[in-house]
Amino acid sequence: MKKVTSLKNVKNIKSLAIKFSLIDGLAPDKKPIKRMLSEMKGMYLDDAKLDEMLAKQDRIIYEFYNMGMPYDPSELAFGTTILHPGKVGDEYFMTKGHFHEQLDTAEIYYCTKGHGYLLMENPEGDVELQEMTPGVCVYVPPNFAHRSINISDMEPFIMFFVFRADAGHDYKTIETKGFRKLIIEKAGKPEIINNPKWNS
């Protein structure tokens, strides 16, 4: 690779260059936030199965970054989400999912590894589902809650994300109501079903 030595004297750099590995999605110089299975209580359909798994061992379900960008509409927050493979009963490992506190802010997800889905719904009840494989970019429109789901039984599902830095995260609505739809495995294949626990 060509060495860029002529830029050495550029002063007062305000830009950022961060490496996210295409292998594991991690940024070597940054610390990801880890979400444990124990923090996902109530999020899965099969609560008994989750308790049974926790009685044996807690584990990391997903990791993501908060780069600490200023909470300002002119800034962009970005990073990777690394969702590990596995299931709770028939339900694939997934992120908790959230609305943005600034509801009308969008987000971009770009898949770099694995195989999964992005499940989206707005407060009016419109549901969107997009399948993601490496190279696929999904635009999450304003007003849509979003959750990622890993349907591979071996590989992590890794996505790079970008959103307006002041969007904020509303996890509470999903924690109390859930998503209207769930993705479960039926006869070895993913299937979208109505969430029996969904609470209007």
For Mn ion, the binding residues (CB under 5 A) are 107
CA dist., res. 111 & res. 128, Å (int): 17
> Would you say 54 or 103 has its CB closer to Mn ion?
103
Q: Which two tokens stand for residue 148?
A: 């990622």
**Closer CB to Mn ion, residue 46 or residue 175?**
175
**How far from the centroid of its chain's Cα atoms is residue 16's Cα?**
22
How many angstroms separate the Cα of 80 from the Cα of each of 168, 182, 194?
Answer: 17, 23, 29
Q: Would you say 112 or 184 has its CB closer to Mn ion?
A: 112
Q: How far is the CB of 79 from Mn ion (least distance, A)?
A: 11
Measured from the CB of residue 169, what is the shortest distance to Mn ion in angstroms? 7
Q: Please, what is the minimum distance in Å from the beta carbon of residue 54 to Mn ion?
A: 27
CB-based contacts of 93, cutoff 8 Å, min separation 6 = 61, 62, 83, 84, 85, 86, 87, 149, 150
Residue whose beta carbon is closest to Mn ion: 107
CB atoms under 10 Å from CB of 69, counted, come to: 16
Kindly tell me which of 85 and 141 has the beta carbon lying closer to Mn ion: 141
| 107-to-1, 8, 77, 140, 184 alpha-carbon distances in Å | 33, 34, 10, 5, 25
Distance of CA 164 to the CA centre of its chain: 16
CB 168, min distance to Mn ion, A: 9
Provide, rounded to whole angstroms, the least separation between the CB of residue 163 and Mn ion.
5
Closest to 35 in 3D by CA, of 89, 116, 98, 114? 98
The residue behind tokens 């996210």 is: 20
Given the complex with Mn ion, which of 86 and 142 has the nearer CB atom?
A: 142
Least Å distance, CB 98 to Mn ion, is: 6
Tell me whether residue 91 or residue 107 sits nearer to Mn ion (CB atom): 107
